Every structure is written in structure tokens, then in C-alpha cells.
């Protein structure tokens, strides 16, 4: 074998050793890049790290549910109220909820427990409103429920058991180790205060409009205000959560930097 052929072979072998053994797929655009785990269990330097979907992905996921659960029921109730009167509107509201359950069942989609509870709740509300012949009773009940939730958010803060953290655990597949971080716990305390304020404002606006405005004004103006408040709360929550995720995911690298700097000094 000639000298040139030997050099060519050695260079080829060196390049093959430098090339990664496996190629990773391109990351989906909807994910925020997080440091790679070091132990195969999602930990790096004793910290738990994960990837968070982008805000646009979250909004696109939530938009159909918002239309189905907020906008459509108001439109159905208002249209039936104008055409069929109060009792017809109550029947239409109940039929809308149960129709959604039947549609999911026929299509083979899962029917969540929350949807079943919502069906029971709207049935009770409609029965009480029909018995009292008052649309105010129908809308007053969920407003009082919102007040109770607002108080629960507020009470969870001095107890150091933020309700926002509990809801996040129920809704998102976030590792338990992540919640043990002090920065994360403090974030959920602040978010619990935020949602207590958002829901309390929701209650104040709803009660004032319910007793001072017509039902049509209440349905549309109040729905727009509540949707706006909710959007602001969600935007602030997601923005804050993304910040805290970045801080927590950077902690392993920050902790490893002094150790890496100390290693050459120790070797010297």
C-alpha cells in the first residue's frame, strides 16, 4: 500500500470515529429546546428538565374547546331565548351539552368525567331556573361557583400549597421532581394569586351585569370581558412558566461550570 493510500485510510477512519454514532431527528418547531438528560431518566446534575410546547401550539389546542365550551353555548342559549323564550332556551342549553356527549359516544371519542359533571350541573341549573321562571338564577349559580374557586386559589397561598400547582399536575405530564424546585413552587404561589384576582374580577363583572343589564347584554358583553380576562391570565401564566422553565433548565449547566473550571486547577 502506498503512503498516500495509507494517509487517506487513516483520515477516513478518523472521520468515522468523529461522526456521531446516531443521528437525532430534527426537533419539532412546537417545542422549546431543553438540555439533554445525563442519566436517561430526565435528570441532569440532579435537576429535572423537559420540553414545553410553544404558546401558539397551546392556543391552537385550546381554541376548539373554547368555542365549544364558551362561545357555542351562549349562542345556542341566546338564539333559543329569542325564538322560544326562557323555557325553550333552557331546554336548548341542556340539549347542547347532552348532544355533545352523544356525538362523542357515537364517534367513539372518550367522554371525560368533567363533561359528565358539566351535564349534571347544567341540568340542575336549568331545573332551578325553570322552577323559578328566572334566567338570573340560571346564570347566578356558575358565578357563585366561580367565587368559590377564587377563594380556593387565594386560601391555598398562605397554606403554601398553591392550587395552580395542583391543577398543573392534573393537566400536564410534568415530572414530579420539577415541582420540588423552590423557584417553581414560588412561581405557582404567584400564579395562584393571579388567578384568584382574575376569577374575582370575573365574579364582580358578572354580578353587576346580571342585576343591572338585560340578559342579552349579559350574555355577550360579559362573555367578551370574561374571555379577555382569561386570555390575559393564560398569557401571563404561560409567559411566566416558560421563564421559570428556562431558569430551572439552566441550573445544571450553571452548577457544572464551576466544577469544570476547578478541574484544571486541581490537575495543576
Higher-confidence residue of 134 and 48: namely 134
Report the candidate in 66, 56, 60, 118 with the shortest Cα–Cα distance to residue 224. Answer: 66
pLDDT at 152: 92
Report the candidate in 80, 83, 104, 107 with the shortest Cα–Cα distance to residue 94. Answer: 80
pLDDT at 172: 66
What is the chain written as a DSSP string? --HHHHHHHHHHHHHHHHS-SSPPPPPPTTB---PPPSSSSSEETTEE----B-HHHHHHHHHHHHIIIIIHHHHHHHHHHHHHHHHHHHHHHHHHHHHHHHHHHHHT----HHHHHHHHHHHHHHHHHHHHT-HHHHHHHHHHHHHHHHHHHHHHTTTT--HHHHHHHHHS---HHHHTSHHHHHHHHHHHHHHHHHHHHHHHHHHHHHHHS-HHHIIIIIHHHHHHHHHHHHHHHHHHHHHHHHHHHHHHHHHHHHHHHHHHHHH-
Distances (CA, A) of 28 to 24, 38, 98, 172: 12, 21, 37, 18
pLDDT tens-digit map of 190-232: 999 999 999 999 999 999 999 998 888 888 888 889 889 988 9
Give the pLDDT mean for 10-22. Answer: 44
pLDDT tens-digit map of 110-130: 776 667 767 888 888 899 889
pLDDT tens-digit map of 67-86: 776 677 778 888 888 888 88
Distances (CA, A) of 170 to 110, 163, 167: 17, 11, 5
Distance CA 268, CA 266 (A): 5
Q: Give me Rg for the CA atoms of the chain.
A: 27
**C-alpha cell at position 102:** 352523544
Higher-confidence residue of 165 and 57: namely 165
Amino acid at each position: 500500500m502506498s503512503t498516500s493510500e495509507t494517509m487517506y485510510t487513516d483520515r477516513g477512519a478518523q472521520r468515522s470515529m468523529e461522526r456521531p454514532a446516531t443521528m437525532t431527528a430534527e426537533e419539532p418547531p412546537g417545542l422549546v429546546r431543553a438540555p439533554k438528560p445525563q442519566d436517561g431518566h430526565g435528570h441532569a446534575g440532579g435537576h429535572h428538565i423537559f420540553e414545553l410546547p410553544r404558546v401558539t401550539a397551546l392556543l391552537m389546542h385550546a381554541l376548539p374547546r373554547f368555542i365549544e365550551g364558551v362561545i357555542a353555548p351562549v349562542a345556542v342559549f341566546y338564539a333559543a331565548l329569542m325564538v322560544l323564550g326562557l323555557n325553550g332556551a333552557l331546554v336548548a342549553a341542556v340539549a347542547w351539552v347532552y348532544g355533545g356527549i352523544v356525538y362523542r359516544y357515537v364517534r367513539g371519542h372518550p367522554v371525560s368525567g368533567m363533561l359528565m359533571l358539566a351535564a349534571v350541573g347544567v341540568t340542575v341549573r336549568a331545573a332551578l331556573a325553570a322552577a323559578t321562571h328566572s334566567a338570573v338564577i340560571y346564570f347566578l349559580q356558575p358565578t357563585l361557583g366561580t367565587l368559590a374557586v377564587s377563594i380556593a386559589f387565594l386560601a391555598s397561598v398562605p397554606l403554601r400549597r398553591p392550587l395552580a400547582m395542583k391543577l398543573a399536575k392534573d393537566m400536564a405530564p410534568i415530572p414530579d421532581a420539577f415541582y420540588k424546585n423552590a423557584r417553581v413552587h414560588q412561581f405557582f404561589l404567584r400564579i395562584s394569586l393571579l388567578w384568584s384576582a382574575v376569577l374575582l374580577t370575573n365574579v364582580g363583572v358578572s354580578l353587576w351585569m346580571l342585576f343591572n343589564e338585560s340578559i342579552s347584554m349579559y350574555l355577550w358583553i360579559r362573555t367578551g370581558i370574561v374571555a379577555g380576562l382569561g386570555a390575559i391570565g393564560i398569557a401571563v401564566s404561560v409567559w411566566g412558566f416558560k421563564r421559570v422553565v428556562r431558569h430551572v433548565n439552566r441550573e445544571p449547566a450553571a452548577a457544572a461550570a464551576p466544577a469544570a473550571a476547578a478541574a484544571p486547577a486541581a490537575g495543576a
